[in-house]
């Protein structure tokens, strides 16, 4: 049974790699929503909009476009303003080269820094995402951190995630989930415990299963581990199905994730297979517990 489950887990690992090549767009708001916050159209007597504002208008159109049209709009935005970080983000998401994506995200970070100015990193710490002008920078930096992890520059990736949570502890981007997955895979239990406690009201599968792994690594086969597992299964009972490879992960991850449903299970397993692969004893224990619970 365990060998079969391991094969399923490895098969899902391959699906995970495929899914990451074509990630869903990073929760960008639609064009209509963005324009609610845009400045009204200017008349001849009003000052002209900045180059960056005009470039960002093209990005609004690019988010709604597909394929070559999206890439063309992103490049046009950069012609208008080289400080348009979101243009680099779109180009990075549409390249098939991890090395090139890393370069584009880095360029996007630099563009975002120029656009918001260094003073913002001092005066607006703690509520970065609340400022619309900081969001392109944060999107570029999140992509950069993901690429760092994928290229085995793992400590650097973790430092970026930590610092982005410092800038925006409300974590509108969900970076705590990526950081938790990194910490589990590297065995950084103390830091993981601090992170889980910092967002103790989090009710997602990501948090419940991360807490189970943390408890199991500390206590092994124990009542504490059984309680943590029960909490995780209550939060999302579908995760083990995908974790064991009994159901294949889709090639494309879901655009929207619910609480306790299969979309959440798919998202959780796709982002956390690495952590389970380095905790095979926890995986085998989970199998035994579920088999024992069957009538």
Beta carbons within 8 Å of 40's beta carbon, 6+ residues apart? none
**CB-based contact 211:177 (threshold 8 Å):** no
Q: pLDDT digit string (tens) for 209-224? A: 999 999 999 999 999 9
- pLDDT tier for residue 47 given thresholds of 50, 70 and 90: low
**CB-based contact 287:244 (threshold 8 Å):** yes
- pLDDT tier for residue 46 given thresholds of 50, 70 and 90: low
**CB-based contact 111:82 (threshold 8 Å):** yes
Task: State the pLDDT at residue 184.
Answer: 97
CB atoms under 10 Å from CB of 20, counted, come to: 14
Distance, CA of 113 to CA of 164 (rounded, Å): 14
- pLDDT tier for residue 32 given thresholds of 50, 70 and 90: very low
Question: The pTM is what?
Answer: 0.82
∠ CA 120-121-127, nearest 5°, is 80
For the chain, domains (ranges, CATH) are 1-22+187-295 (no CATH), 28-37+49-172 (1.25.40)
Distance, CA of 83 to CA of 77 (rounded, Å): 9
Q: pLDDT digit string (tens) for 61-90? A: 999 999 899 999 999 999 999 999 999 999
Q: HEC profile for 42-55?
A: CCCCCCCCCHHHHH
**CB-based contact 1:287 (threshold 8 Å):** yes
């Amino acid at each position: 049974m365990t060998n079969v489950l391991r094969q399923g887990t490895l098969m899902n690992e391959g699906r995970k790699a495929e899914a990451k090549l074509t990630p869903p767009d990073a929760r960008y708001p639609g064009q209509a929503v963005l324009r609610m916050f845009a400045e009204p159209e200017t008349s001849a007597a009003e000052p002209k909009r900045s180059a960056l504002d005009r470039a960002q208008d093209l990005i609004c159109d690019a988010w709604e476009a597909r394929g070559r049209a999206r890439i063309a709009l992103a490049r046009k935005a950069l012609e208008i303003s080289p400080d348009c970080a979101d243009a680099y983000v779109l180009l990075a998401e549409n390249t098939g080269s991890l090395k090139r994506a890393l370069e584009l995200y880095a360029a996007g970070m630099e563009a975002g820094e120029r656009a918001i100015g260094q003073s913002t990193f001092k005066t607006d710490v703690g509520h970065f995402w609340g400022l619309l002008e900081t969001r392109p920078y944060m999107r570029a930096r999140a992509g950069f951190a993901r690429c760092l992890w994928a290229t085995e520059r793992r400590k650097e990736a973790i430092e970026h995630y930590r610092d982005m949570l410092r800038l925006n502890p409300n974590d509108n981007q969900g970076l705590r989930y990526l950081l938790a997955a990194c910490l589990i895979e590297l065995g950084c239990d103390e830091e993981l415990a601090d992170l889980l406690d910092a967002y103790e009201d989090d009710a997602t599968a990501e948090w419940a299963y991360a807490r189970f792994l943390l408890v199991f690594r500390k206590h092994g086969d124990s009542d504490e581990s059984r309680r943590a597992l029960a909490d995780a299964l209550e939060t999302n009972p579908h995760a083990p199905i995908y974790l064991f490879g009994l159901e294949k992960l889709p090639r494309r991850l879901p655009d929207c994730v619910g609480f306790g449903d299969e979309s959440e299970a798919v998202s959780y397993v796709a982002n956390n297979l690495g952590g389970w692969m380095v905790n095979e004893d926890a995986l085998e224990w989970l199998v035994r517990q579920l088999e024992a619970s069957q009538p």
